[in-house]
Structure 1
């Protein structure tokens, strides 16, 4: 079933993006934004033409997959899986299939990050649609690779990867629709929820390497197969709960931040009609002084 590290890093990466999109979507809904605004890099980097208006998301799409590629080839330290063909064998067989599939997946996510950087640095009108198209392509590649990733595996491994295909394929479809309609709040919510499901299920796959119960999963046991599907349904509900919690925390921050930014001078204060004569004379003197009349 591969390695724990081979699934843990993608799980962490997908979780980072899922939480990021959930926070971004929650704030956009609270602020009634029509366009999903991504935080950009600090001003020092924005001064360079290449990094003008580049978001943290674009840079993260490049950095995390590069770390993943390094892990696939050289972790644990001392190994080297760069070789694709065993030239010593007369049959010239392909080797390290799973690692090369993971590297291919990481490579398309790097491509998506590069497209984001180029699009955001040039501020093209069609840039957002191009970004969604590149992101959708990376998830279609993920689905395609997972279909062959389950070959020659146990029935339990096939089941867990087929369940992983559900949020991956739905994410690809949502991103495809966003190519034509990128500013639709329902799609923002759907994408955030599916990303949370995908990341949490990746952690469920990691749990199969180190079971909480201390007993390994049994591929020949139909009960393990049944509970695996039950756990996936629980992950669907867990993602909804996490999304609601993130929205609640963002709403608390939004309302507190709004109350801090309000100043007493910004509010309209009507003049009391039953003021004393001294107060009226004082207000009249201040008005005349502002008009330049002595």
Structure 2
């Protein structure tokens, strides 16, 4: 993953997923939902087999790691890094350490997606807790791998990955809390914000490989180290601003959608206790103007009154 392409795939994946989760959170808050409702794939794509209820979230968790694993092994075209041990060397050394670390990270996120699919279909009772536990495990594994990933790196790369570990660790803690306290709106907001921070920082790492100024970052310059920390703090504020913007746009859509779904004049009217011919004719005219349906002939008013007296 020590390339622009290697950081771009997980960065774009985290960022898009964070946008998706922020939209779900905003709509859930606006509609006062007690639990997040993840949209399911169309029935034609789900089929009627093992996975009858698959959400877009679970599908993304499976598809993105699969592409990441394939890229770690076979990108660029023509290379093959599947080998773990060099059997030709008498010392039997491990090879492609970084790639196997990345494959392990992608593998645990892939496992989280598979757990989502299985739990959404077959474990409706306590499936949400299992999903959050698998997702928290993936982030804990990410942090463990980062500890050894920064070995033999430049001081600038170490600083970048240490700052990346901050939102990753906080996300793992939040997901762990959510295992015991599910469906809690403040946790939804915190997860959305931390996810946006993580995705934005991954894209910042991509910028370091192709700096817009044309001047590469200098690992031996303390000023570059200081500005790297400053940029991370800016990303904290940027993530909050992005979430507020998403919430505002969802609020506008929710207000407009609510106004569209309201039918003018479709309100219940209390039936008067005393009937007379004029009132019945007025009610019939209102019904015809609203529904366009011809009502049956109205029974005799006097007969209805007599029946009511009896």
Query: TM-score by structure 1 length?
Result: 0.93
Deviations for 1:249-274, whole angstroms, at most 9, x for unmatched residues? 11111111111111124335689xxx
**Secondary structure in 1 aligned to 2:209?**
coil
Distance 2:232 2:245 in 1: 20
Larger Rg: 2
**Secondary structure in 2 aligned to 1:179?**
helix
Distance 2:202 2:224 in 1: 17
> 1:96-115 counterparts in 2 under 5 A?
96-115=96-115
What runs of 5+ residues in structure 2 fail to find an aligned partner? 288-294, 301-310
Distance 2:218 2:148 in 1: 22
Deviations for 1:52-101, whole angstroms, at most 9, x for unmatched residues? 22211111100110000011111111111111112222222111111111
> 1:16-27 counterparts in 2 under 5 A?
16-27=16-27
Distance change (3 Å), C-alpha of 1:285 and 1:133: closer
Deviations for 1:177-229, whole angstroms, at most 9, x for unmatched residues? 00011110000000000000000000111111001110010000000000000
Task: Give 2:191's aligned residue.
Answer: 191
Task: Give 1:274's aligned residue.
Answer: none
Distance change (3 Å), C-alpha of 1:235 and 1:292: same
Deviation, 1:4, is 1.2
What runs of 5+ residues in structure 1 fail to find an aligned partner? 272-276
Task: Give 1:148's aligned residue.
Answer: 148
Task: Give 1:293's aligned residue.
Answer: 299
Deviations for 1:98-119, whole angstroms, at most 9, x for unmatched residues? 1111100000001000100000
Distance 1:80 1:46 in 2: 34
Deviation, 1:285, is 6.1
RMSD in angstroms over aligned alpha carbons?
A: 2.2
Distance 2:27 2:95 in 1: 47
> 1:91-240 counterparts in 2 under 5 A?
91-240=91-240
Deviation, 1:278, is 9.6
Does the 8 A contact of 1:49 with 1:121 survive in 2? no
Distance 1:51 1:215 in 2: 50
Query: TM-score by structure 2 length?
Result: 0.88
Does the 8 A contact of 1:41 with 1:51 survive in 2? no
1:282 aligns with 2:288: no
Q: Does 213-222 or 258-267 show the bigger shift? A: 258-267
**Secondary structure in 2 aligned to 1:41?**
coil
